[in-house]
Chains A and B, each alone.
Chain A
Amino acid sequence: MTTTTPRESTGADETALAPELLARMHEIMVRARCLEERLIRMNKQGDGYFWIGGPGEEALNAALGLLVHKGQGPQYDYLHLHYRSSATLLAMGADPVDALRQMKNTATDPYSGGRNFCNHYSVRKWNVVPVSSPIEVQFSMAPGTAIANKRAGGRGITIVQGGDAGTAEGDFASCLVWCSRPGNELPCLMIVTNNHWGISTPASEQHGEKHIADRGKAFGIRTAVIDGNDPETAYRELRKAMDYVRTERKPFLLEAMVSRLYGHSSASGANFISDEADCIPLFERKLEERKILARAAMDELRARFTQELLEASKRVREEPQPRGEDIWKHVFADRDLVHESAERPRGGNGAH
């Protein structure tokens, strides 16, 4: 693997991606959109108390999920994800019905057993650590998994993702400092998805910095600002950044400009916002022009996913709810699962 040198800003790397890959990304993006739309409907119909998710981020997140070195333990990538990361999970192979289960807070919800909001994943077999509603705190945790990655000596990296508004928290600064300690740089890819909003406050009122990514430069961290609405750009730039982090074992800060198509959450109505760029029709126009996919096939795909998820949501409605006494489960662990799933740690002889 050659060492790549990512540019400091969006570049014109036109290395063509294979048509099969583009079709695959399209399918994941559409499926993720249909899933989010189903989650929103479930919430509006009373089949769930709250919706928050990622419509508008499918291009970036599908590309990310396809590029993850997926597995368990520090030889593989650790993911500190966003609650807008549904496309990443689907790209990794998650069953979308599990997201419906979490929306319906069923006992069968594999991510939290009916305890947490939708899109709050936890998948130990893929190193997806539990997503918490405050997102930025994960930037304080990421150096820990990145130390384990570095210590393991393989090509596994840590990926941490948060929004633009969250970078105002001290945790973001913690991550920059801890990942760039001289001689102890960490293999951590920090992704800031910039949708120009902090809940309901525009970024322009609160942030004076030109690019959030510029903050990395003070620490000697490589940075890029990319168009996160274009899956080809996202795939290429993520691949470059990840290759650098995997090979050099050093951090990278990537800022991706994305859209937020249904507002912050159900608390702000979860209605479609038509004046933001929508990555799916933009991508579909390209796919059609380049004769990679036909309009009819794409329409059929969307109709099929919509129907499948509708039917699945009806089945999920019948699944059991957790019982009141279940609150007492898992307050404490009786087994060291994370240790069992990791390689035997090698103490004191490696990176920290």
Chain B
Amino acid sequence: MATLVQAIRLALHVGEERHGVTDVFGEDVGPPLGGVFTQSQGLRTAWNSPLDERGIVGTAIGLALAGQRPVAEIQFCDYAFNTVDLLKLAGGVCWSSAGDYNCPMVLMTPVGSGIRGSLYHSHSFDAQATRIPGWKIVMPSNPLDAYGLLLSAIADPNPVMFLAPKALLRAKAAPNERIPGEPDDDRVLSKMIDAPLGDRSRWRPEWPAVEDLFVPIGKARTCRQGRDVTVVTYGRMVPVAMQAAEQVAADGVDAEVIDLRSLAPYDWDAIRASIKKTNRVLFLNEDTEVTNFGEHLLRRAVEELFYELFAPPKLLAGADVPGIGLADNLERASVPQVDGIVAALRDLARHQP
């Protein structure tokens, strides 16, 4: 089964072979490195850019306006903050020109903590990204969704941000999450598409005949059905929420876990239906908690579903501090952990109508 980062690479390959991707570019994206996480190894259209995030985003906009189909990368989302006005510009191309232009670009960037990345390799970007209208924003939590969301992003005529949870990049797909056409044996896939260590100047990938698969942007996935409490989450927090759900199941609390997958547009229908069923909801992500995307969802839940709720809805998010500290205790104190989620679920479940 492909890892999440292999799934990204396979989608980029399919994108450039079948869906018109003209450029996969950014810092260290081309040979010899092929991406700091190996995500762009062996791709035909991959190239290295100057170390200039504004140039990367700006050039992607220019390529898109000229009818190319770029996939640009910011090496870590921590380095996207100096591009925010350009992201605003890309999001406003269609609107500001009253539909004269569209801007079909994909911006990929690894996000979040979990690799002990300290201050500049642990940021989240979902709160920032969802403040920029005109962008579609997707964030997979597993290889199959990464593959299908990236292909949908490539096919979309609008700017799409693909936030890759970096702590999950090496996570393998579950047995039922096979990319159609990928080899059954992990070692075979690795031999085909992972660049060798050392000199790779003569190496060429052997791409498996993977099939198209488009995960629709704006559609959530219910990863666990439950009756008692809903967890609405995405990205790296999905497997953490699943762990917490298994723990509380032992106490008889049956949690439903929704992986949002798309933050813009987001699947309100799925959230509403689940809250109507469980009457209790926890919004969970790892970005800092003040003006957090989960706060928006929570506000909407209160406004629209107040009389459905048996318990005050909760948000569990990152601590509102300037960075993620390097020491294990500091990182763990900064972003939600299984124990905190378990406690929140128990607390929600305790409330009765």
Contact = CB atoms under 8 A, between A and B. Distances in A.
A347 B54 CA distance: 23
Q: State which size class the interface on B falls in.
A: 35 or more
Interface in A298-352: 329-348, 352
Contacts of B25: 352
A337 B92 CA distance: 15
B136 A174 contact: no
A101 B52 CA distance: 38
Contact of B67 (A74, A111, A330): A74
Contact of A149 (B66, B69, B95): B66
B351 to A, nearest CB: 38
A26 B97 CA distance: 30
Contacts of A134: 85
A141 B62 contact: yes
Contacts of A66: none
Interface in A124-140: 124, 127, 129-130, 132, 134, 137, 139-140
Given A333-B99, A333-B102, A352-B47, A145 B62 contact: yes
Contacts, number: 192
Contacts of A127: 66
A147 interface: yes
B215 interface: no
A142 B86 CA distance: 13
A146 interface: yes
A288 to B, nearest CB: 41
A171 B54 contact: yes
Nearest to A138: B58
16 contacts: A123-B100, A127-B66, A137-B89, A140-B54, A142-B62, A144-B66, A144-B70, A145-B65, A147-B66, A148-B66, A158-B62, A177-B50, A178-B52, A332-B134, A332-B157, A338-B66
Interface of A: 73-74, 78, 109-113, 115-116, 120, 122-124, 127, 129-130, 132, 134, 137, 139-149, 151, 158, 170-171, 174, 177-178, 181, 329-348, 352
Interface of B: 16, 20-23, 25, 44-45, 47, 49-50, 52, 54-55, 57-70, 85-86, 89, 92-104, 133-134, 136, 157-158
